[in-house]
């Protein structure tokens, strides 16, 4: 279709037939050929009236973009090409504007695209409804529920890589404006047998593979899982990996979707723990054992898997192990416990796995409903979307296929009923006479299956409930007795004579003639699958779990709520669910999407006629067309009909002034269409045969070609006339402009000629006047020139005379000057030559020195002794003088600086100078002490009443008072002491009591030892044999080591006139009583930050760790 073309009808540029109701002739071959033709042109949607046929393209098509959504928004159903968006828009507008509840029924076999169709419907509705934070949150939650349910309810089959293995019906609730409020999801018949066994070429449910592929190693470790698929018996290995499917990315999508829907973190964790437990159940294996009484029993081979399952679920291992080995049967007040053989144990294990996963899936649906349900209680409009398995005919059909096909029979029944009802209502509404339509009513087949007395499901329940031996064969015999005469039931053992020679039907099978064709069912497994029994011991074991989710999944396991009544069978439960669903659908306006799979290879551009034909038959599409067109094949409102075909009649073209119905009547009378081919309704025209519509379309097409020719002719004439008028107008403009140009050129030529003549005349007059003026000027200037020459001659003569006189006078003066100079030079020549050089040198040197000192005066540095600036030397011969002046100036300003000191300041600087000589470049602690003033009395003993006793005991002047740490030789620990230094003694006193512990005269102190590192440890060595040396030397630690050592050195020198020995070494000896201990300093990291620590290594070594 051209880019600027506007499509106003389904019939415009139609590929094949867009609506099968208009197909001529109507048969199976033409139906398939029409679908194939449209499929080859990427037209995957076709109508049957208001029903949409969707063919899976198995590839992405550019027909679902936001632009397409806007194109179909608020448009008539038949206005554009067939599309799923058209049906979605029709349903949404009917719900919003007409207040009609809607339901969209999506059917088809596995792989036909039902799930994708439901997603497209929901995405379209989400795109066209209202906006806002709350509305967007509701829409996001509704859309994100799909990935969660797909992960837990979909699996890879031979027909579909993402096959829904459950039926889903979602009611989306809207307010009066059409904005979504929430939703409710119902699920039907999850294929739980897939948990324990999958057909060849198929996979288990997606979530098992997604966890193993996408979960982190830590998460797998918590779930006690390994990434290797082959470790788990419940996972089929032949199709573990699917091309084009990224299980790891899908796992991240599922976790994100669960978070958006509203799952809490602990809920998500619990769900995955249950999935892991199901996966590990398949690894439990049993071995037979014989008891003393001769009965066979089973034992678990490897209990490691059982242990891990119990750790995941919080179940006592012995309880679960017993539940796998014994079965307890209760009857009234009696309990009977029997052992399980290996086959029964495996059955119990698989039954537990199936029930656990099935109940988990139901819990997920319930939990999602809690999150997406409408929060307000206002009246709501509802749109239901049914995505349910289609009719299934496999090579081996069992109980699941029987149930699924029963559901499709019911859907077909309600489809025919609602379609006929809709047709009848429209006929009555439009005033058209209703005629009875013949069609196949499949109620007889539904009755065969669901009849409460003689139905197959009733017979199956009866067999499951009766006492005695019940097998699948007894069930088949029961069917042969009850259903043998039914025309849609066949069996090898049937008493009906017409089936006796049918050797294609095995003995253990029966066949039902469904509306979609014959299906043969194998009765093997019908009884067990219908019973769906889970031993009570296993239910009670699950209820005893400490895992809150598992406990909630098995409420019947509560001993306080034991119900001896047999639980309902799977068939009866599904029958009740289908009945509820049918009742729900009958209250809503139906919209149908029939999905078709074009091939079994899941490949694009392949259309298998036989496969499509099979699906057309069992979907009943031909019957649907026949029902639709049994009365009138086509109907259309009067306004669009008149607008489309008005060009076929002169009276209605181009504008009809009257009512639309009258215009259509005039149009059809003019075209002479037989009256039996159409009828006039109240608001629509009804056309009986598609040939009549196609005739109208052909006439319209021909008329449009004629109109196009007429328009083209008129346009060409208009274009030529317009071009002629434009050329004529241009010629007039060009002529006027040329005439103007010619006159201008002529005028300019005449003007230039006149100017030339005028210029020549004016030049002749000017030249004549010039000659006269020149002659007069020459006559006047002749006398002046003669007089000037005479005056010049006279002046030159006078000048020559004066110059001669001046030269004579100057010669006399020059000669006299030379003579005087000669006399002076002759007189002073002897003196000048002897002393001139020395005098010039002295004068020059004196002048340079004067300049040097004047510049030095202006460039003098500051008086600070630490200022090292000095002016640059100007002359090389002044080098020694310059240095000497610098030295003298520095000494002078140092003296000036010292003269400012008080006596106390002088003492502090003398101590600092002494400390520099003792410790500079020797002790690492010294640089930090340079900027700290030496205070001496750090403890105010005279002012602190705590130290009154100590003050009374010391009568001398205290030079330094400081708290030090005395190191204990036994363990290296420190004890606080007060260190006092007086003029004659060193004292150590207790810090708390103030009692003097030791008193040492300065004469008995022989040496002070310390390390070269950044620590405060020092040792005071005492003279051997002195009274104070009885307990040995002192090993102390102080924060003011440099100050204490300096003051001790100066005080000792002042009193004893001897220098105290200061030893700086990282290893020295200290006398403790009779022993000498080595104190060693090492580098090391400290637990207490930057504080050095002392540690006793042995009897002869104390080790100090310095940071």
Count Cβ atoms within 10 A of the Cβ of residue 12 and give its class: 0-12 exposed, 13-18 middle, 19 or more buried.
middle
- β-strand pairing of 678-680 with 154-155: unpaired
Is 110 tagged catalytic? yes
Query: Could you give the dihedral angle defined by the CA atoms of residues 519, 525, 527 and 528, in that order, rounded to the nearest 10 degrees?
Result: -140
Q: How many of the other CB atoms lie within 10 Å of CB of 370? A: 9
User: Are the C-beta atoms of residues 382 and 173 closer than 8 Å to each other?
Assistant: yes
Q: Which of 164, 239, 539, 929 is catalytic?
A: 164
Query: Which residues make Cβ contacts (< 8 Å) with residue 256, sequence separation at least 6?
Result: 144
Please give the DSSP secondary-structure letter assigned to residue 205: B
Q: Which of 115, 118, 689, 692 is catalytic?
A: 115
CA dist., res. 1014 & res. 926, Å (int): 8
Q: Which of 46, 160, 213, 985 is catalytic?
A: 160
Is 115 tagged catalytic? yes
**Residues in a beta bridge with 990:** 977
Backbone CA torsion sign across 713, 717, 722, 723: positive
Is 392 tagged catalytic? yes
Assign 444 to helix, strand or coil.
Answer: helix
Quickly list DSSP for 305-338.
Answer: HHHHHHHHHT--HHHHHHHHHEEEEEETTEEEEE
User: Are the C-beta atoms of residues 925 and 1041 closer than 8 Å to each other?
Assistant: yes
CA dist., res. 938 & res. 927, Å (int): 21
Distances (CA, A) of 1010 to 779, 934, 1066, 1079: 128, 19, 7, 10
CA dist., res. 1100 & res. 1069, Å (int): 9
Helix spans in 859-976 (H): 879-898, 903-919, 926-930, 948-953
CA dist., res. 480 & res. 498, Å (int): 14
Q: Nearest 5 degrees, angle CA 389-CA 395-CA 400?
A: 40
Phi, psi (deg, nearest 5) at residue 826: -65, -30
Strands (E), 1002-1066: 1005-1010, 1017-1022, 1034-1037, 1061-1064
Strands (E), 318-471: 326-331, 334-339, 381-387
Phi, psi (deg, nearest 5) at residue 447: -65, -35
Is 362 tagged catalytic? no
Is 497 tagged catalytic? no
CA dist., res. 442 & res. 391, Å (int): 14
Q: Which of 392, 409, 490, 1043 is catalytic?
A: 392
Strands (E), 940-1055: 958-967, 974-982, 985-990, 996-1001, 1005-1010, 1017-1022, 1034-1037
- Closest listed residue to residue 626, CA positions, set 21, 60, 1038: 21
CA dist., res. 500 & res. 496, Å (int): 7
Q: Which of 18, 384, 390, 663 is catalytic?
A: 390
**Residues in a beta bridge with 168:** 187, 387
Is 160 tagged catalytic? yes
CA dist., res. 174 & res. 238, Å (int): 46
Q: Which of 46, 56, 88, 163 is catalytic?
A: 163
CA dist., res. 610 & res. 612, Å (int): 6
Tokens of 239: 């199709």
CA dist., res. 203 & res. 210, Å (int): 12
CA dist., res. 158 & res. 379, Å (int): 45
CA dist., res. 578 & res. 592, Å (int): 18
Q: Which of 16, 18, 49, 111 is catalytic?
A: 111
Strands (E), 407-523: 489-491, 509-514, 517-522
Active site residues: 110-111, 115, 160, 163-164, 390, 392
């Amino acid at each position: 279709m051209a880019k600027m073309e506007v499509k106003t009808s389904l019939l415009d540029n139609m590929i094949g037939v867009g609506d099968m109701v208009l197909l001529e002739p109507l048969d199976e071959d033409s139906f398939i050929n029409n679908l194939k033709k449209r499929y080859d042109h990427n037209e995957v949607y076709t109508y049957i009236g208001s029903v949409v046929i969707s063919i899976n393209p198995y590839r992405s098509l550019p027909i679902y973009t936001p632009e397409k959504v806007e194109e179909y928004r608020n448009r008539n159903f038949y206005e554009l090409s067939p599309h799923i968006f058209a049906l979605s828009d029709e349903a949404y507008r009917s719900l919003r504007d007409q207040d009609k509840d809607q339901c969209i029924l999506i059917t088809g076999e596995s792989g036909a695209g039902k799930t994708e169709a439901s997603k497209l419907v929901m995405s379209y509705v989400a795109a066209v409804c209202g906006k806002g934070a709350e509305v967007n949150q509701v829409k996001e939650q509704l859309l994100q529920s799909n990935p969660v349910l797909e992960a837990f309810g979909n699996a890879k089959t031979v027909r579909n890589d993402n096959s829904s293995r459950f039926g889903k019906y979602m009611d989306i609730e809207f307010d009066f404006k059409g904005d979504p409020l929430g939703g409710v999801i119902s699920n039907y018949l999850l294929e739980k047998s897939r948990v324990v066994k999958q057909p060849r070429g198929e996979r288990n449910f997606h979530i098992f593979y997604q966890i193993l592929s996408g979960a982190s190693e830590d998460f797998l470790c918590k779930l006690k899982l390994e990434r290797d698929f082959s470790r788990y018996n419940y996972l089929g290995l032949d199709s573990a990996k699917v091309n084009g499917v990224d299980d790891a990315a899908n796992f991240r999508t599922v976790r994100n979707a669960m978070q958006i829907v509203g799952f809490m973190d602990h809920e998500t964790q619990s769900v995955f723990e249950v999935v892991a437990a199901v996966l590990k159940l398949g690894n439990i294996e049993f071995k037979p054992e014989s008891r003393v009484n001769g009965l066979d029993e089973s034992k678990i081979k490897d209990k490691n898997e059982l242990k891990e399952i119990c750790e995941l679920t919080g179940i006592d291992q012995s309880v679960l192990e017993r539940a796998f080995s014994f079965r307890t049967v209760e009857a009234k007040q009696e309990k009977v416990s029997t052992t399980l053989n290996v086959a029964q144990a495996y059955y119990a294990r698989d039954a537990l796995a199936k029930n656990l996963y099935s109940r988990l899936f139901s819990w997920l649906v319930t939990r999602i409903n809690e999150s997406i349900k409408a929060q307000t209680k206002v009246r709501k409009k509802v749109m239901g979307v049914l995505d349910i398995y289609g009719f299934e005919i496999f090579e081996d059909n069992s109980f699941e296929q029987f149930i699924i096909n029963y559901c499709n029979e019911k859907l077909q029944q309600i489809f025919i009923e609602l379609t006929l009802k809709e047709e009848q209502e429209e006929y009555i509404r439009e005033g058209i006479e209703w005629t009875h339509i013949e069609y196949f009513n499949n109620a007889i087949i539904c009755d065969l299956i669901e009849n409460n007395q003689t139905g197959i499901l009733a017979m199956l329940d009866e067999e499951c409930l009766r006492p005695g031996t019940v097998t699948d064969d007894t069930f088949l015999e029961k069917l042969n007795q009850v259903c043998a005469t039914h025309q849609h039931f066949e069996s090898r053992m049937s008493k009906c004579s017409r089936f006796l020679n049918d050797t294609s039907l095995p003995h253990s099978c029966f066949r039902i003639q469904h509306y979609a064709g014959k299906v043969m069912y194998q009765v093997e497994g019908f009884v067990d699958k219908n019973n769906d029994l889970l031993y009570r011991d296993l239910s009670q074991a699950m209820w005893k779990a400490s895992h809150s989710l598992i406990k909630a999944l098995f409420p019947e396991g509560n001993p306080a709520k034991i119900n001896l009544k047999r639980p309902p069978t799977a068939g009866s439960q599904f029958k009740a669910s289908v009945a509820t669903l049918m009742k729900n659908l009958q209250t809503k306006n139906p919209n149908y999407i029939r999905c078709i799979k074009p091939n079994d290879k899941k490949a694009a551009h392949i259309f298998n006629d036989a496969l499509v034909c099979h699906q057309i038959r069992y979907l009943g599409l031909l019957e649907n067309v026949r029902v639709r067109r049994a009365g009138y094949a086509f109907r259309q409102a009067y306004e669009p009909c008149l607008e489309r075909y008005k060009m076929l009649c002169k009276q209605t073209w181009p504008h009809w002034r009257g009512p639309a119905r009258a215009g259509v009547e005039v149009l059809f009378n003019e075209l002479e269409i037989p009256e039996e081919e159409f009828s006039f309704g109240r608001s629509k025209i009804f056309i009986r045969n598609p040939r009549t519509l196609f005739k109208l379309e052909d006439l319209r097409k021909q008329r449009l070609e004629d109109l196009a020719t007429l328009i083209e002719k008129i346009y060409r004439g208009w274009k030529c006339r317009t071009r002629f008028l434009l050329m004529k107008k241009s010629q007039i403009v060009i002529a006027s402009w040329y005439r103007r140009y010619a006159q201008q050129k002529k005028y300019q030529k005449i003007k230039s000629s006149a100017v030339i003549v005028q210029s020549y005349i004016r030049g002749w007059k000017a030249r004549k006047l010039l000659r006269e003026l020149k002659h007069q000027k020459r006559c006047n200037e002749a006398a002046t020139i003669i007089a000037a020459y005479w005056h010049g001659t006279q002046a030159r003569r006078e000048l020559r005379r004066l110059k001669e006189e001046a030269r004579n006078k100057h010669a006399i003066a020059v000669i006299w000057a030379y003579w005087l100079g000669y006399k002076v030079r002759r007189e002073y020549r002897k003196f000048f030559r002897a002393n001139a050089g020395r005098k010039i040198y002295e004068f020059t040197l004196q002048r340079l020195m004067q300049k040097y000192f004047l510049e030095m005066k202006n460039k003098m540095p500051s008086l600070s002794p630490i200022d090292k600036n000095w002016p640059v030397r100007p002359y090389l011969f002044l080098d020694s003088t310059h240095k000497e002046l610098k030295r003298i100036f520095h000494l002078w300003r140092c003296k000036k600086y010292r003269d400012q000191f008080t006596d106390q300041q002088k003492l502090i600087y003398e101590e600092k100078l002494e400390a520099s000589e003792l410790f500079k470049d020797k002790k690492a602690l010294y640089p930090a002490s340079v900027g700290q003033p030496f205070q001496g009395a750090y403890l105010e003993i005279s002012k602190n009443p705590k130290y009154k006793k100590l003050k009374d005991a010391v009568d001398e002047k205290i030079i330094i008072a400081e708290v030090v740490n005395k190191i204990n030789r036994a363990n290296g620990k420190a004890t606080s002491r007060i260190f006092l230094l007086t003029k004659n003694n060193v004292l150590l006193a207790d810090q708390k009591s103030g009692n003097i512990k030791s008193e040492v005269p300065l004469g008995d102190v022989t040496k002070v030892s310390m390390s070269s590192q950044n620590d405060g440890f020092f040792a005071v060595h005492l003279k051997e044999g002195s009274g104070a040396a009885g307990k040995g030397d002192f090993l102390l630690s102080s924060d003011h080591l440099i100050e204490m050592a300096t003051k001790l050195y100066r005080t000792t020198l002042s009193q004893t006139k001897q220098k105290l020995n200061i030893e700086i070494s990282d290893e020295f000896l200290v006398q403790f009583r009779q022993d000498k201990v080595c104190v060693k300093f090492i580098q090391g990291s400290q637990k207490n930050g930057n504080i050095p620590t002392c540690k006793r290594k042995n009897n002869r070594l104390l080790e100090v760790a310095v940071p």
